[in-house]
Amino acid sequence: MPSTPRLREDGLIAAVDMGSNSFHLAVARLDHGELKLVEGMSEKVRLGGGLDDKDRLTEEAQARALACLSRFAQHLDGITPDRLRVVGTNALRVARNAPAFLKKAEKILNHPIEVIAGREEARLIYMGVAHTLASNARRLVIDIGGGSTELIIGEKFDPLLMESTYMGCVSYASRFFADGIISPKAMERAITAARHELAPLVSTYRELGWDSVVGSSGTFKAMRQVTMALGLDKGSGQLTADAVRELHRLVLRFGHVNDIVLPAIKDDRKSVLPAGLAIVIALFEELGIKAMDYSDGALREGVLHDMLGCYADEDIRDRTVQAMMSRYHVDIAQAERVATTAAQLLEQVAAILASDETGNSNLLLRAARLHEVGMAVSHTGFHKHGDYLLRYSDMAGFSQPVQEKLALLVGSHRRKIKPEQYTSIVEAGGLTLLRLCLLLRLSVLLHHSRRRDPLPAIRLRTDGLRFVLGFPPGWLSAYPLLEQDLREEVEVFASVGTALEIT
């Protein structure tokens, strides 16, 4: 689904994938709308293996990760923030001390890190495969990561069914092969656990069906390489069910991960090979897979192509917003009125608020369009319902931090801003997010009557601590309810340390 990018073609674009097993860096150049890889790096960090029994990242795991990011950072000089995206996956979704670690990591990269949800990870993986391995067939794409396994059925560039499961080669290695011993009992326990994880998905996936299967992770790459080296693929270049069964027999013979001697299997792959193999066996058996192709394209390539989409004529996030507006029966005309006014107000104060970034503008507009989604649940406290829906829905294209910001904006767009809300807003997005919240509140108030008549020319000035909202002479007095709402809003602004003057 290539489209003409608006991103300039005179520079580099980069993605960093902080996986639970490996960290990946991809640097590419735009060439007539196509991505050309300039540089790629991967390091085994085993972040997921550094989770202790309380789901906290150990100091050793953090040190490995930060050292890797320091090396990556040297290759990111000169890449502007709008052309770089850094994503974290399962280990960072699970880790209780992820926020503290992310602060240190972001300082090294001088760039925010997005911890993406499982289904969003699945969508990006599919995008990476679809752009790397062209096909018109319906495909089942599977990616075994360190802490999760994603399964996606899609056609061309469109995913049709996506799931993320809690099984990965690092987490299963810690759970079933912590002592390194490869026993038939340990393998069977790991395979059974993977089957249980897949059980709720099998009927749905089989019912939708697929024409071909593609694996996109290091686990599949390693197994394909070793089976090809041993001639188990019979010249097909595929990972077959027969080859997987034979590999299972061979691996059990070694008895311990340190004793594994197989062609194409590097030392840093040995400790997770039995766990990865157990997951592969369960996948092949439960889904009835006979043969699987391999794609080098995965999450990092998907992130790069998704960045292009964000600058092209159609952004997946806008499609997601439109779908939610339809699903929750949002009054589209009202939402667009609020969004238009929000954009006009932001434009007048963007330079002072340092909010002229496209990301902030899009965040405000999307919050404006979604501010009434909670009405589908109840008119009473609908802002709270909206907060919940945006916080916990699967929203394609949105990272977890951005979803949280959207939820906070919608949840705080009316009534008082409670101290805990203020704290959450500032922690999530600093004063910039707070000011976007205030702009959204003003925009909603200005359209509280839901009148179709256009607003007059409204002026907004600010020095960052004081907002001055100006109307044409005599106009506001003709709308006493709005005038009263704005007087009450002065108190709300004051409660968060900001003055509001109405002229």
pLDDT digits (tens, 9 = 90+) for 403-436: 999 999 999 999 999 999 999 999 999 999 999 9
Written in H, E and C, the secondary structure of 272-323 is: CHHHHHHHHHHHHHHHCCCEEEECCCCHHHHHHHHHHHHHCCCCHHHHHHHH
Checking if the pLDDT of 5 tops 50, the result is: no
φ/ψ (deg, to 5) at 461: -125, 155
What tokens were used for 474?
């005599």
Checking if the pLDDT of 248 tops 80, the result is: yes
CB burial of 152-167 (b: ≥16 within 10 Å; e: otherwise) equals bbbeeeebebbbbbeb
Q: Considering only residues 8 and 220, tell me which one the structure prediction assigns the higher pLDDT.
A: 220
Q: Which residues contact 423 (CB under 8 A, 6 or more apart)?
A: none
Q: What is the C-alpha to C-alpha distance for residues 7 and 145, in angstroms, rounded to an integer?
A: 31
pLDDT at 1: 32
Q: Considering only residues 464 and 265, tell me which one the structure prediction assigns the higher pLDDT.
A: 265
- Averaged over 234-250, what is the pLDDT? 95
Q: What is the C-alpha to C-alpha distance for residues 104 and 345, in angstroms, rounded to an integer?
A: 35
pLDDT at 11: 78
Of the ranges 232-236, 308-312, 450-454, which one carries the lowest mean pLDDT score? 308-312
In order of 168, 494, 503, the CA distances from 252 in angstroms are: 19, 68, 79
Render pLDDT for 110-150 as a digit per residue (tens, 0 to 9).
Answer: 999 999 999 999 999 999 999 888 788 999 999 999 999 99
What tokens were used for 486?
């704005």
Checking if the pLDDT of 397 tops 70, the result is: yes
pLDDT at 253: 97
User: Residue 319 — very low, low, confident or very high, per pLDDT cuts 50/70/90?
Assistant: confident
CB contact at 8 A, 367 and 440? yes
Share of the chain above pLDDT 70, in %: 96
Checking if the pLDDT of 58 tops 90, the result is: yes
Domain annotation for the chain: domains and CATH numbers? 12-116+302-306 (3.30.420.40), 134-294 (3.30.420.150), 315-455 (1.10.3210.10)
Q: What is the C-alpha to C-alpha distance for residues 49 and 57, in angstroms, rounded to an integer?
A: 9
pLDDT at 240: 97
Checking if the pLDDT of 40 tops 50, the result is: yes
pLDDT at 308: 83
Q: Considering only residues 278 and 234, tell me which one the structure prediction assigns the higher pLDDT.
A: 278
- Averaged over 390-413, what is the pLDDT? 92
pLDDT at 311: 62
Other Cβ atoms less than 10 A from the Cβ of 419: the count is 10
pLDDT at 340: 97
Q: What is the C-alpha to C-alpha distance for residues 97 and 253, in angstroms, rounded to an integer?
A: 39
pLDDT at 3: 38
Q: What is the C-alpha to C-alpha distance for residues 41 and 26, in angstroms, rounded to an integer?
A: 7
Beta bridge partners of residue 462, listed in sequence order: 467
- Averaged over 432-448, what is the pLDDT? 96
User: Residue 312 — very low, low, confident or very high, per pLDDT cuts 50/70/90?
Assistant: low
pLDDT at 33: 66
Q: Is the pTM of this model over 0.85?
A: no
- What does the mean pLDDT of the chain come to? 93
Render pLDDT for 90-110 as a digit per residue (tens, 0 to 9).
Answer: 999 999 999 999 999 999 999
Residue type, 447: H
Share of the chain above pLDDT 90, in %: 84
Checking if the pLDDT of 2 tops 70, the result is: no
Q: What is the C-alpha to C-alpha distance for residues 101 and 59, in angstroms, rounded to an integer?
A: 10
Q: Which residues contact 357 (CB under 8 A, 6 or more apart)?
A: 82
